[in-house]
Structures are given as structure tokens and as C-alpha cells.
Structure 1
Amino acid sequence: MGQKNFVLDTNVLIENPKCITALRNGQDNMVHIPYTVLTELDKLKRDPRIGHIVSQAIHSILTDGKLTILSPEYAETIESQNPDDRILKETLNSGIESPILVTNDRILQIKAGIYSLQCEEYKDSDPFRSDSQLYTGFTAEGETPAVNSFSWKNGTPVFNGAHGEKPVTYTHEVWGVKPRNIYQNLALELMLNDYINLVSIQSEAGYGKTFLALASALYLALEKKSNPYEKVYLVKPIWEIGAKMGYLPGTVEEKMQPYIRYIRDLAVKLHEQRPANRIFMDTDSEKFRFNQKKFEILPIAYIRGMNLENCVVIIDEMQNMSRSEVRSLLTRMGEGVKCLCLGDTRQVDNPYLNESNNGLNWVVKKLRNNKEYAHMVLKGERSRGPITDMVLKTGL
């Protein structure tokens, strides 16, 4: 087969920024970018949802020495404001021999067919993965283990800590909680490790990261004797209500009830498995109000100015915190603090953040390989229930 001339649509670059290298196939083919595609990328780079992916696409264009941009002079003469029509006209008038328009836009494919322009669909999608997804906490065979990571030897997980290797041949049981799979057991291994002060856990919904963190916190603060932990703090970003929160009636805990009810439900569930009377003010009523001396839930705004010592801190939904918020929070932590950071960079609700530019991802990117830090991607065969399993497996 001879050399092919591919012309890329915007959606192909967005779905897989590495498509240029793949389509080039070494030196076999030529790749061309319509000027209108650059204009579209320039607009999309400001979109907080996909700006991080656009930057990767732009980087691929800048670093590819053989890629060509179709003439901007002709593009400026096109009157149509429809990007698809402009890309189509640029391709037809490019002078390229037998151009092949690569697009996943079905309407554009139909339009190309009207002009007998050859079209191909690009099916090799490569979804963006953040640092907290890429670095799973497991080291592949033959690679040098990262600090506080896991590797596999003869089917057995081995913890590669600062003090050497340790096969994890046992199963943890914390506050009556037994891990449902090997990954939950390894997550507990990190949370309970005396030499690791900061742990981050990335996982999709329903794999038990919050439940495991709460069970570990209760064990460390209420049961384990040889530690300095006297209290549990749970910090959660509440960007949805922002400044309006101050106008709601009641205490801080009462104001946050719509956002932290699931925390109370999990704590009550743990209490029912094994009594945790000290974290509640009253366990006879249905309210189960937390004892602020032992268990306190705070929005991140309330942490500024505090000095946290001798406590376990759980930071939930860290993906909805900015880099500056994470830095402000972590620098509040003094002596005798165990911090458990939880989140999923694919579930960023904060409109000002994205999969790459969020607190959880920055923690993994900057702290990886520190001897007092560990990160892990939590997964497994089952999540919280069959409906959640179905959603996760189908990619809904």
C-alpha cells in the first residue's frame, strides 16, 4: 500500500490526542490539520471540562515535526460559520492527493460522501487518565518498585515500603470490617501503616473507600493504644453552597447535613457492627449526633487558621478541591496526624476544576515516591451493589 494523506477533524484529536502518531504509522503516511481545527481547539481550551485534553492535543501538534497545517489564507475566504463545512471545504481545496478525512462525526461523513471525499472513522479512542489513575500504586514486573507501592510475586502481593519488602499474606479486620477483595485489604494495609502519614485512594463510586477510611479512623482513634490519635476530623469541600452556607440556620454540622448524611449513615453502620459510643453524643435517638470532642465534620473553609495535631483526618472528595485549597489544608497538619485522602478524578463536580487540575491529582503528582506517602487505585469485582456494578462495567 502507498502513502496515505489523512486530514484530521477536531473530534478525533479530542478523543485521542495521540492519534497523529498512530495514523502516521512510522513514516508511511502524512497527517494534515485544517486551519479551522486550530480555531476550534483555541476555543475549546477554555472549557474547564476538556481543557486538559485540548492541551494534550495542542502539544501533539507542536511536537510533530512532519505534520502540515492547511493554508490559513484559503480558510479565511470561506464564508460559512459552520466548522464542519469549513473543514470539508478546506480538505476539498487543499490540493492534497487523495485526501482521507478522519472524523467520528456522522453528519460530516455524510457531507463528505456527497462530494465523493473518502472518509474514515477513528475508533482507537484513548480516554484521558489523570496521574491518580495512571499511578495505581502497583509496580509492574521487572520495574523498580516505587516507594510504598505493591508488586506481585507468585500471586502474592508484596508491599515495598521504606524498610524493605513485606508479603501481605494476611487479611485485615478493622472495627468489625473485613475486606471484600484483595484490593480493599491492601488499602487497609496503607491506612494502618505506622510509617505512612499521608494516604490517597482513587476509585470509582461504590468500592468502599470512605467506609474503609472511617473504619480505620475509628480503630486508630478509639482502639489502638500505641498511637497519638485523640480525634477524627472529616473534611469535605462544599463548593455547591459557598457563601450561602452562612445564612442557613443551625450549627455547622446542621448546615452540612444535606451533604454529609452518607457519612453519618456509614458511621452508624460501623457503630452497629461494633459500638463506637464515644463518637456520638446520643445513640438512643435517631439523630446520632456526633460528639465534637471525638468526631467532627468540617467544610474546608473552617480549617484555615486551625492547627491539627494528634488526630486522624479524612479528606473526602478531594477531586473537588483546588491545588491551593489542598496546600492550605495539608499545611495545617502538625505532629501526630494521619491523613486519608479520598476521591475520584473522573467525578469532578467543581465547575472550575477538571480531571487534571484538581487537588487529588496534584497530591499524587507531587508527593509520589515520598517515604511517608502512599497512593493506590482501589478496584474490584463488586462495588456497592448490582446496579452500580452494571453502570461501572458498561461505562454509562
Structure 2
Amino acid sequence: MENASNLKSKMYVLDTNVLLHEPLAYLSFQEHHVVIPMTVLEELDHIKDRKHDVSRDARVAIRGLDEILKNATPEQMLQGVALPSNKKAKTASNGTLIIVNDHLFADSISGLPGNENDHRIINCAVHLQKQHTNSKVILVTKDINMRLKAKGAGLNYVEDYRTDQLIDDISLLTSGYKKIAGDFWQHVGQCNTEQYGRETLHHVAKNLIPDVFYNEYLIDEGDQFAARVKSYDEEHITLKDIGYERLMNQGAWGIKPKNIYQGMALDALLDTSIELVILTGPAGCGKTLLALASALEMVIEKGIYDKVIVTRNTPEIAESIGFLPGTEEEKMAPWLAAITDTLEVLHKGDENPISSRNYIMEKANIQFKSVNFMRGRSIQNAVVILDESQNLTAAQLKTIITRCGEGTKLICTGNLAQIDSNYLTPVTSGLTYIVERFKNFEGSATINLNGVVRSRLASFAEENL
């Protein structure tokens, strides 16, 4: 390993949770030296046979490591085996992958007892830091407490794994709309306008609004102008003129928008050309209500889709819904009470709201499904509502999105301030990931409902508790 000791080199010691989070994470360090302690391999071995999603990630990581190291001799593994080029990387790889037997290092190096795997990995990093004084040895782990202990044990450099993070701060997350100061047309001046039936399109210069994406909404402070980005190139932006008043007067299943933010959400939800709608915002801002009302409108009133599929993820049922008697829908019902409660709200004026709810569930063919059973199938011509999607990883969301067949509309709702998973943060949530990844996709729209006026009680609690 002497080749790694030079002024410019960096040695990244990867923790097990990094490989479970992204099994091929070692390919992200193309120009550096990646160290995998033996303890990490042991932990992957213990995890790979469990009946959980994380076991699949462990197996993928092990197979990837085997592919790189299968022809290497023990000496070469200690010296470093060349990393293959990452398909996403623009330059060729000159980094190496090194396997270190950390069991050979004395516990006294870091002062932490060696009976815990985390301590062994920290001990390994501290040992490498002392051995390679001219290299920058960095421990990469997603465990916050482990990062703190590593610092306390004398390790100079400790980092979180951020390669998969598209933004550094949740405040930078795309809102799905832009509010133009003053009157929009005073900024634009003259532009080319085309009329296609009832649709009016404006072609404005790109330099007026340089950072736009497909289906982003534009509104101004005059409460008159409202448009959606239809397309754009390097010189022009094509806007679909919607109009503030038209947004506020649309409705779905008896629901009218309370303000322009809900109006934009309803417009995206009712537009069949938009296949993915992402609604974010605090609790009580109407995400589920708008999604379900739009789904009922498109299934029952307009007959565009055949059924409504509702699913969500909770930590307790992420892997299994149990073996006790009962159908899938009966087992999912307690977790999807928000949907049945919303149906009752939509029919609270009826003589018997519960009977109306049951009738509508049958009429709209509303099905409650577990995320675990969304694999191995294709969902055709349906509205899929994925509630509480902030608790899903990017991989889990990919599983669901890739199941959506022809003619299916997916609605993802979530509140990034209420993440229940122990392993996700607002920045690493799958919801954040798809908001940023799909913003340049022609068939998707994102609306942040933070602007919705909530009850006085909810607003006071949000600000003061």
C-alpha cells in the first residue's frame, strides 16, 4: 500500500452502511483509493441472507466487489486493485480498491474497545492515518454517532456519503413554480403568441427566465397572470397561458382551490399529459385531499382511468404485512386511514357519509396495496396515489415508478418535515431525489403547497412548537 502514500492521494475508508445505501458506492471515488475493512465484508455477509430489502443491497455490493477482485492475488488486494471506470464518470478511473484485515490492528491505536464492529472500522481508519502520514485518510459513514466517535478517537477527516445527494440544503428544493415580481408583461414586453383551439401559447426570450424546467408554473404579484412552461430551448420559452382566474375556478369532485398554490396543483393533477405529479408541503395543506378528489374526478366523472390504487410506506410494514389471516386490503387499511378519512370529508354533506364512502370506493375501484407487492407487475390505466412518500428511498420509488404502464398517472405526496425512517433525512429522501431528477422530464410536475393557508391552530403549532 506504499503507492497510496503521496501528497495528493486520498484514502476513503467505507463503512458498511454506505454500501447498503448505495451498493456500488466505491465506484464514485474514481481518482482515489478506496479501503474496505474486513469487518465491513463480515457485516455484509451477515446481512445478505436476511429477508429484507437491505439484504438485496448487501448481495449486490458483494457481487460487485467480487467482480473487481476475482482475479487478484492476496498481495494485489493489499496493494490495491484498479477500480473499473464508472459509466457516469467523464474521465477514466485511476483509483484502486484495497481490502484491509483490520483484525490485525491493536485496539490501543484508537483507544476504542474492539468488540464492536464500528470501533474496528474506526480503528482501521486511525491506523491508516498513522501509517500514511502523507495521505488524507477519510472515513465515510452515514452513521452520525460513528462520525462523532471517529473524531473523538483522533481521526482527522470524517464525512457523510453525499454523492447521491442532488442538493445540499432542503431550502434549495424545487418548488415547482416561480413568482415574478410586479406585472409579468412589463418584464416581457412584446412576444409571439399562437392560438391552438382553446390553448394560447406565448413564446418569450429565455434570458428573461433563464432557469426553468418543464411544467413549471409562472405567476406574478398582480394576481392576473398564470402560465405553465410547455417547452424551452436555448433561446425561447413556450408558455401555456392558463390565467389566474381560470386556475382558481377549476374544481374536482366538488373541491375548489383555496388559493393559487392549490390551483396549480389541481391543474397538474387533472392534466392527463402529466404522468407524474409530486405534491410536497406541511401536514394539513391538502395534498391527499387534492390527489384523491382529482383521482375520483378522472375515474368516475370523466372515465379517463379504470381504477385508483393507493399505497404508502411505513417502517413497520416496509418489508412485510404479516402472516395473520386477512386480505391485503384489510391489513393495509389502518395505515391508509388518511385516505378513508379524506373520502368521508369529501362526502360529509351526504345523509350517510360512511355509506357514500363505501359506495365510492367500489364505484372508483379504489384498491389499497402494499409497497412490498408492487414488484413484478405492471399497472395499466390507473391513478396511483403514493402517500407519505418521504419515507421511501430512491430505490423504492424507482421500483414503483417503473411498474407504471401505459396510461397510468402517478401522484406522490409527502411532507419532508415528517420523516419516520431512521436512515433518511430530508436531503436523502427518495421524494427529494425524484423532485430533482424529474424536473426536466416533460411528463412531470412538482408543486410545493407551503403557500396554502392552514387553520389558525395548525399554523400556530407549526411556528411555535
> What TM-score range do you get, normalising by the shorter chain?
0.5 to 0.7
C-alpha spacing 1:242/1:134, structure 2 compared with 1 (3 Å)? closer
The one-letter amino acid paired with 1:348 is I
For 2:319 and 2:394, the matched residues in 1 are separated by 20
Counterpart residue number, 1:301? 372
CA contact (8 A) 1:48 1:353 kept: no
Q: Deviations over 1:339-359 (max 9, x none)?
A: 111112222111122212222
C-alpha spacing 1:252/1:290, structure 2 compared with 1 (3 Å)? farther
For 1:165 and 1:147, the matched residues in 2 are separated by 11
C-alpha spacing 1:357/1:213, structure 2 compared with 1 (3 Å)? same
- Are 1:349 and 2:425 counterparts? no
Counterpart residue number, 2:25? none
Q: Deviations over 1:72-105 (max 9, x none)?
A: xxxx9xxxx799xxxxxxxxxxxxxxxxxxxxxx
Q: Deviations over 1:5-62 (max 9, x none)?
A: xxxxxxxxxxxxxxxxxxxxxxxxxxxxxxxxxx9xx8895336999xx9xxxxxxxx
Residue ranges of structure 1 left out of the alignment (5+ in a row): 1-38, 55-75, 84-126
Q: Deviations over 1:293-336 (max 9, x none)?
A: 71001111111112101111111111111111111111111111
CA contact (8 A) 1:238 1:300 kept: no
For 1:164 and 1:194, the matched residues in 2 are separated by 18
Counterpart residue number, 1:391? 461
Counterpart residue number, 1:136? 175
C-alpha spacing 1:82/1:306, structure 2 compared with 1 (3 Å)? closer
**What number of residue pairs does the alignment pair up?**
279
Point out which structure has higher relative CO (alpha carbons under 8 A, 6+ apart).
Answer: 1
For 1:303 and 1:197, the matched residues in 2 are separated by 18
What secondary structure sits across from 1:139 in the alignment? Answer: strand
The partner residue of 1:217 within 295, 305, 310 is 295
Worse overlay, 367-376 or 262-271: 262-271
CA contact (8 A) 1:160 1:166 kept: no
Q: Percent of pairs identical after alignment?
A: 29
Counterpart residue number, 2:227? 158
Counterpart residue number, 1:149? 216
C-alpha spacing 1:351/1:318, structure 2 compared with 1 (3 Å)? same
CA contact (8 A) 2:175 2:448 kept: yes
* 1:188 Cα deviation from its structure 2 partner: 0.3
Residue ranges of structure 2 left out of the alignment (5+ in a row): 1-125, 127-137, 155-166, 181-207, 232-237
C-alpha spacing 1:189/1:305, structure 2 compared with 1 (3 Å)? same
* 1:215 Cα deviation from its structure 2 partner: 0.1
Counterpart residue number, 2:400? 329
For 2:146 and 2:450, the matched residues in 1 are separated by 25
For 2:219 and 2:317, the matched residues in 1 are separated by 45
For 2:371 and 2:144, the matched residues in 1 are separated by 22
C-alpha spacing 1:129/1:274, structure 2 compared with 1 (3 Å)? farther
Counterpart residue number, 2:143? 47
* 1:239 Cα deviation from its structure 2 partner: 2.4
Counterpart residue number, 2:355? 283
C-alpha spacing 1:164/1:380, structure 2 compared with 1 (3 Å)? closer
Tell me the C-alpha RMSD between the 2 structures.
3.6
> What TM-score results when the alignment is normalised by the length of structure 2?
0.53
For 1:314 and 1:205, the matched residues in 2 are separated by 17
Alignment of 1:161-240 (within 5 A): 161-162=230-231, 164-168=239-243, 169-170=245-246, 171-225=249-303, 227=304, 229-240=305-316
